[in-house]
Amino acid sequence: METDLRALARVQDWYGPHSSVAAEWPVEALLRAKGRTAVSVILPARDEERTVGEIVTVLRRDLVERAPLVDEIIVVDSNSTDATAARAAAAGARVVAQGAVLSHLPPLSGKGEALWKGLAASSGDLIVFVDSDLRNFGAHFVSGLLGPLLADNAIQFVKAAYERPFTGADGVLWRGGGGRVTELVARPLINMFWPELAGFVQPLGGEYAARRAVLERVPFVTEYGVEFGLLVDLLELVGLDAMAQVDLGVRAHGHQAMPALGRMAGQIMLTAWSRLERQGRVLSATSPDRRLLQFGLDGQVDLVDMSVAERPPLASLAVEDVA
């Protein structure tokens, strides 16, 4: 119990000084603090033609043309089969095909792969990741995340906090109903094994910013465990006091079906297991099974693969590998 109380006190001490709201970071003040710091915004996108163009349009209008806070907008097209790439380019983003970045390396799949490839394709000193399925995107999603990084050189990583409502098929809004995998899987794992991170409101959220020098020193899980892995690895690399969060308000986006959430949950568990092994906190003669047996409503049974791979820290690659 004493250990639990110490962990809780640590989170409480961290939360106040390291948590803020987007309105505390006005763009005008950030421009003065920016100086010659280059900022890249990276959006991983797979079949997001309905939303990616509007996000890029808002970014260009508000944070490139009206206020030159962002230096480049990169959309990583993750093998889309719709007009994602065309709409992103028409809105003013630089679109890169996931497979075309570091194309000499064996291809991998998943969101984390797109993020890692986007990092490799970008040039900014500060990197902001934004999901491309947001339905209520505002420029404060980016400016808010940049605030702590531009104001304090000691801050290395900033995570977004927000409310995630769930809109059902009948159109009924369920406040707080989003983030099911966060509440049922990620948060219990964090509180059990990395309680210092318990103060992060949205540990799996797709909006966060960091210094390039730090992101290049950690591996990227290629599937949906990427955000969980980054949070744990950055805690180990830079420490809790170098991490912060900013409340962006409300985040509206699409929702995954239950079978997809099950696979996502399994990938996060495997990511957590790999970190526990790496940190010497679990010992096992055999690795966890990577297969998940799922049952459908109509009686069908599917055996799906939950495996996750990892890309190494970009800084560990030879110069010729990155070129």
pLDDT of the residue at 285: 82
Q: How many residues does the chain have?
A: 323
- Weakest-pLDDT range from 35-44, 155-164, 252-261: 252-261
Asked if pLDDT for residue 178 goes beyond 70, the answer is no
Asked if pLDDT for residue 228 goes beyond 60, the answer is yes
Contact 63, 13 (CB under 8 A): no
For the segment 255-283, what is each residue's pLDDT rounded down to a tens digit? 678 888 999 999 999 999 999 999 999 98
For the record, the structure tokens of 100 come out as 């075309």
Contact 95, 45 (CB under 8 A): no
> What whole-number distance in Å separates Cα of residue 130 and Cα of residue 115?
10
> What whole-number distance in Å separates Cα of residue 56 and Cα of residue 43?
9
Angle at 98 between CA 92 and CA 103, to 5 degrees: 125
For the record, the structure tokens of 101 come out as 């970045």
Q: What integer best gives the mean pLDDT of the chain?
A: 92
**Mean pLDDT confidence for 22-26:** 98
**pLDDT confidence band for 180 (50 / 70 / 90):** confident
pTM (two decimals)? 0.93
Please tell me which residue, 12 or 323, carries the higher pLDDT value.
Answer: 12
**pLDDT confidence band for 3 (50 / 70 / 90):** low
pLDDT of the residue at 2: 44
- Decide the pairing of beta strands 243-250 and 310-311: unpaired
> What whole-number distance in Å separates Cα of residue 152 and Cα of residue 145?
12
B/e letters for 86-123, b = 16+ CB within 10 Å, e = fewer, are: ebbbebebebbebeebbeeeeebebbbbbbbbbbbbbe
pLDDT of the residue at 172: 45
**Mean pLDDT confidence for 229-257:** 91
Contact 19, 106 (CB under 8 A): no
- Decide the pairing of beta strands 301-305 and 291-295: antiparallel
